[in-house]
């Protein structure tokens, strides 16, 4: 019982208590938003350790739905004027202005498509069942780790700092959008709902890393406690087998999540067009415009910085999570090799469990090679640090190419503009 007792002592440490409160706060905040905006409403059953979907009050639900419809259709006049503007402008304008118009229309089309998928995900009954299933699986796996090994929550400090920086830039961008004279509620909702869904996915990734952290800590304590002991107690045999089962369950859960919310990572990738379009404006304003420095800084911070940095930071967070998963899986493989060596040294008395662990370890390696724990961005492309670098380079080079095209066609870039 030495390993588990060590874990219990870890749970009472101030940093562990802080991590637990952090996760509870994040989960309750996400749920409060979902419940308040009538996305879904769940009830926790202590007897089964699962959540069940409950119904809203009928009258209040109808009021909220009516408000949502009004919010979406309120800028109908803006849509009509925008469509008329696109029709007239596309028939009269050529060269770099037509290029800017084409990119604007493309970005707007992506925004409308992603907003449609976000609204479907947050209101469709099938997707609500998916969320309920994921929450129940998280509760079951966390409960199993808590009972058998002692759950060790961990919040990666670097990941959290990157996310908070992104959140600060995101809030500044939303404030800028809100005060624009051409404000469209659909664009505002697009950014807001995408951030909400991504925040939920980010918390889920942190939970995955906490699960891996718990398993790795248990194996490290097990190796340290049994390195010089003559025998291994039977209860540890069962726990090691359970570890393999939980690892397989975690991988299957992530594959299920990845397959069902692949549209979210695709939406993050498609933000590259918004990023490129605003990066072009940023380069033109910072390098070629003749405005005062104070005016340049204000326009860049107000109109360009958020749409440029936010997509990059989204991709960076996904890439960092993938790298953390890879490091955890490599460390897990190494620890299982050491554990297997401990059983081999005990000789024939543990021959059966050694054979079982050997088979489980082989299955683990094969599973990690064929179905590694990772984030897929688009078209089965893994989002890792190499992809993040390619993403950033693509944004910079494409934006520079658009600036070069604008200059070559005699476009006007001698003055900063908040929106081209």
pLDDT reported for residue 331: 86
pLDDT reported for residue 420: 41
Greatest alpha-carbon pair distance for the chain in Å reads 86
Per residue in 319-369, pLDDT tens? Answer: 999 999 988 888 888 887 777 777 666 555 555 666 666 666 666 666 666
Tell me how far apart the alpha carbons of residues 154 and 328 are, in angstroms, rounded to a whole number: 13
Structure tokens at 144: 């199993």
Q: Hunting for tokens 């929106």 — which residue is that?
A: 419
Cα 71 from chain centre: 27
Tell me how far apart the alpha carbons of residues 339 and 345 are, in angstroms, rounded to a whole number: 10
Tell me how far apart the alpha carbons of residues 359 and 262 are, in angstroms, rounded to a whole number: 32
Interacting residues of 29 by C-beta distance below 8 A, sequence separation 6+: none
Model-wide pTM > 0.85? no
Query: Which residue in 103, 173, 107, 110 sits closest to 401, CA to CA?
Result: 103
CA end-to-end span of the chain? 67
pLDDT reported for residue 243: 80
Q: Where are the alpha helices (DSSP H) in 74-124?
A: 76-92, 95-123
Block means of pLDDT (10 residues each) for the chain, length 420 residues?
A: 52 72 85 78 75 66 60 52 55 53 68 77 80 88 84 85 91 81 73 90 91 87 69 66 82 87 88 86 76 72 82 92 89 79 60 62 64 81 88 90 78 55
For 44, phi then psi, to 5°, come to: -85, 130
């Amino acid at each position: 019982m030495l390993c588990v007792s060590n874990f219990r002592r870890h749970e009472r440490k101030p940093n562990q208590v802080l991590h637990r409160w952090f996760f509870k706060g994040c989960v309750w905040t996400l749920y409060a938003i979902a419940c308040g905006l009538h996305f879904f409403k769940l009830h926790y059953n202590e007897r089964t350790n699962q959540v069940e979907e409950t119904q809203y009050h009928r009258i209040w639900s109808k009021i909220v739905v009516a408000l949502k419809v009004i919010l979406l259709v309120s800028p109908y006049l803006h849509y009509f004027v925008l469509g008329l503007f696109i029709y007239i402008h596309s028939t009269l304008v050529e060269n770099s202005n037509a290029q800017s118009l084409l990119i604007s229309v493309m970005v707007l089309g992506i925004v409308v498509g992603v907003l449609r998928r976000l609204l479907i995900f947050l209101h469709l009954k099938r997707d609500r069942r998916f969320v309920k299933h994921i929450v129940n699986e998280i509760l079951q796996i966390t409960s199993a780790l808590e009972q058998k090994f002692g759950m060790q929550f961990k919040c990666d400090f670097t990941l959290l700092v990157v996310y908070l920086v992104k959140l600060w830039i995101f809030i500044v961008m939303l404030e800028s959008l809100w005060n624009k004279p051409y404000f469209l509620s659909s664009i505002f909702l697009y950014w807001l709902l995408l951030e909400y869904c991504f925040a939920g996915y980010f918390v889920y990734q942190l939970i995955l890393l906490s699960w891996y952290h718990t398993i790795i800590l248990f194996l490290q304590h097990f190796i340290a406690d049994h390195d010089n002991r003559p025998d291994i107690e039977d209860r540890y045999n069962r726990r090691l087998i359970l570890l393999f089962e939980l690892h397989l369950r975690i991988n299957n859960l992530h594959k299920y999540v990845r397959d069902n919310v692949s549209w979210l990572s695709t939406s993050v990738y498609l933000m590259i067009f918004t990023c490129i379009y605003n990066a072009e404006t940023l380069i033109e304003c910072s390098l070629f415009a003749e405005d005062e420095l104070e005016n340049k800084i204000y326009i860049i911070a107000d109109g360009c910085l958020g749409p440029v940095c936010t997509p990059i930071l989204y991709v960076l967070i996904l890439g960092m999570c993938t790298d953390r998963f890879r490091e955890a899986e490599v460390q897990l493989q190494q620890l299982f090799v050491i554990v297997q060596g401990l059983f081999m040294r005990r000789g024939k008395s543990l021959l059966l469990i050694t054979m079982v662990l050997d088979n489980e370890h082989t299955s683990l390696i094969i599973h990690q090679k064929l179905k590694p724990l990772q984030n897929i961005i688009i078209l089965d492309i893994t989002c890792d640090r190499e992809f993040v670098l390619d993403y950033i380079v693509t944004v910079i080079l494409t934006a520079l190419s658009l600036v070069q095209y604008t200059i070559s066609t005699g476009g006007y870039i001698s003055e900063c503009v908040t929106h081209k």
